[in-house]
Structure 1
Amino acid sequence: MSTNMRLIEPVPHATGASRAPLKDHAPLYSQIADILRTHILQGAYQPNQQMPSESELMGAFDVSRITVRQALGNLQSEGLIFRVHGKGTFVSRPRAFQDLGSLQGFGTAMREMGYETHSKVLSVRTVTAPTRVVERIALSGRVTELRRLRFLNRAPISVDVSYLPLSIGQRVARADLANRDVFSVLENDCQVALGHADLRISSVPATAEQRDLLSVDLHAPILFIERVIHTSEGAPLEYEELYYRGDAFQFKVRVERQAAMP
């Protein structure tokens, strides 16, 4: 059969899969990856569902094993599938993402992409500023500590801990934090213009509390973000510690190459 007229049969075990032509204008492995990616994103393959075997895909697409492996390699590099030695290939749990290139609240960013999001306030306390807060934003004495559990499509996604000056923190605590971002409260209720944020990102093992809140294994890797929010005038205002499920969320940022110095 000519490659520019090659057709595939419905992919095995994929509900709603359809016949699709593979043409000469792009590599076969890239076209196969596109077809499988569409099935995954449209829900024909569910999270954690086993994908067809390499042999089944070879037969469905009438291609070689190396072509199938290249297609699956593309999908794996995108985080859409994962492989378990001796068992096969499975669909990954979808990962939402947030762009670090703009200072935007989590809830606002996720709703703009069509996700459902809300928060559960775990605690609001007046505490003595921890040493790390004093060091990061020069805020000493009594401060407001706000702890929230964030949900994405009704699944727990992060534990957020924020520290604010007491006068501002008390106003923030009275807001509807189940449905509003702190950023929105600061700008609209407290009339504080936000400017920029400094971030540090690392991986830390989940604590017992985080295991229970985020439904992860004890000591599973957690994406940890330490963030300092500054006002438009450059003054540090809020210190945050954000703990995200590493298997369900990711951050993206665009970095421009700087011109080389002469």
Structure 2
Amino acid sequence: MTAPLATSTPPLTLHGRIREDLRERIVRGVLRPNDRVPSESELMLQYGVSRITVRQALGDLQHARMIFKVAGKGSFVAAPKPFQDLDRLQGFAEAMNASGHRTFNRLLQLRAEPASAAVARALALPRGTLVTALQRVRYLDDRPVSVDFSWLPLSLGSRLRREDLSNRDIFAMLETELATPLGHAELAIDAVPAPADIAARLDLATGMPVLHIERLTHDRDGRPVDHEHLYCRSDHFQYRLRLHRA
């Protein structure tokens, strides 16, 4: 009987070895956020390699957003991206403020309008029923990270006009001021090219990819209360989800 062939991991290239050595130092905390990474000349001397090899390694780390470059000063360790867990139903400000980040909402629109076919279907209302429509730009640590479109039944949304929408989540206001405990939400996530109006709000070039989230939130009794389309920059912020194998 022939023994199975042993498999082995191919050896790292020279630039791969430098990249992985630096990655390990960052992950272990030897190099901390905003620490300066050894210069190209220092890495050339340490590893006995050419400048192009060092630049390949640093380029890989920059592409992975583990480091960033400052012209004339060198490369520095990037801070971890802020993130929100999707395995909990919580508002953006609720999640970010709990981890020490500042949030702010710029309200672009708050009005009553007839429900489109898609909005009416989501909120289980007849087409053309008046609903409350909101549009906001959400900021994280003074940078725009998402443009949010929200539609709520008029009975709930009209009462939001009396609330401060600049620093609070709709979820929090639904549960406190509007006495509407939340139950669950359904999400669909994809990537889309940013339309011109959304790209301008997010300081992006038109057509750049953004993360698109469609979310329908239900109250504790299962009634749909908040239908949303969120367009998010993926370079300043990320969503995370823990999955369990049954």
Match of 1:181 in 2: 169
Could you tell me how far 1:82 is from its partner in structure 2? Answer: 7.5
Instruction: Give the residue type in structure 2 aligned to 1:122.
Output: L
Instruction: Give the residue type in structure 2 aligned to 1:105.
Output: G
Uncovered stretches (5+) of structure 1, i.e. residues with no partner = 1-26
Match of 1:5 in 2: none
Contact 1:93 1:247 (8 Å CA) reproduced: no
Q: Distance in 2 between matches of 1:79 and 1:97?
A: 15
Match of 1:43 in 2: 34
Match of 1:33 in 2: 23
Uncovered stretches (5+) of structure 2, i.e. residues with no partner = 1-16
Could you tell me how far 1:162 is from its partner in structure 2? Answer: 0.5
Could you tell me how far 1:149 is from its partner in structure 2? Answer: 0.7
Could you tell me how far 1:198 is from its partner in structure 2? Answer: 0.4
Secondary structure at the aligned position of 2:176 is classed as: helix
Could you tell me how far 1:90 is from its partner in structure 2? Answer: 8.0
Q: Distance in 2 between matches of 1:118 and 1:74?
A: 33
Aligned CA distance change for structure 1 residues 36 and 127 (closer, same or farther; 3 Å)? same
Q: Distance in 1 between matches of 2:160 and 2:174?
A: 7
Match of 1:123 in 2: 109
2:231 is matched with which residue: 227, 231, 243? 243
Counterpart check, 1:111 vs 2:97: yes
Q: Distance in 2 between matches of 1:206 and 1:130?
A: 22
Q: Distance in 2 between matches of 1:101 and 1:74?
A: 31
Could you tell me how far 1:136 is from its partner in structure 2? Answer: 2.1
Contact 2:134 2:149 (8 Å CA) reproduced: yes
Instruction: Give the residue type in structure 2 aligned to 1:224.
Output: H
CA-atom RMSD in angstroms: 3.3
Aligned CA distance change for structure 1 residues 219 and 39 (closer, same or farther; 3 Å)? farther
Q: Which moved more, 1:71-80 or 1:136-145?
A: 71-80
Could you tell me how far 1:56 is from its partner in structure 2? Answer: 3.3
Match of 1:190 in 2: 178
TM-score, normalization by structure 1: 0.73
TM-score, normalization by structure 2: 0.77
What number of residue pairs does the alignment pair up?
221
1:9-88 counterparts in 2 under 5 A? 32-36=22-26, 38=29, 41-45=32-36, 52-53=39-40, 56-60=42-46, 62=47, 75=61, 79-81=65-67
Instruction: Give the residue type in structure 1 aligned to 2:207.
Output: H
Q: Which moved more, 1:199-208 or 1:34-43?
A: 34-43
Q: Could you list the per-position Cα deviations for residues 195-221 of structure 1 after superposition, in whole angstroms to 9, with x for gaps in the alignment?
A: 111000011111111121110001110
Aligned CA distance change for structure 1 residues 137 and 63 (closer, same or farther; 3 Å)? farther
Could you tell me how far 1:246 is from its partner in structure 2? Answer: 2.1
Identity percentage over the alignment? 41
Aligned CA distance change for structure 1 residues 136 and 30 (closer, same or farther; 3 Å)? same
Q: Could you list the per-position Cα deviations for residues 124-180 of structure 1 after superposition, in whole angstroms to 9, with x for gaps in the alignment?
A: 011111111122231330000011110011111111110000010011232111011
2:133 is matched with which residue: 145, 167, 181? 145
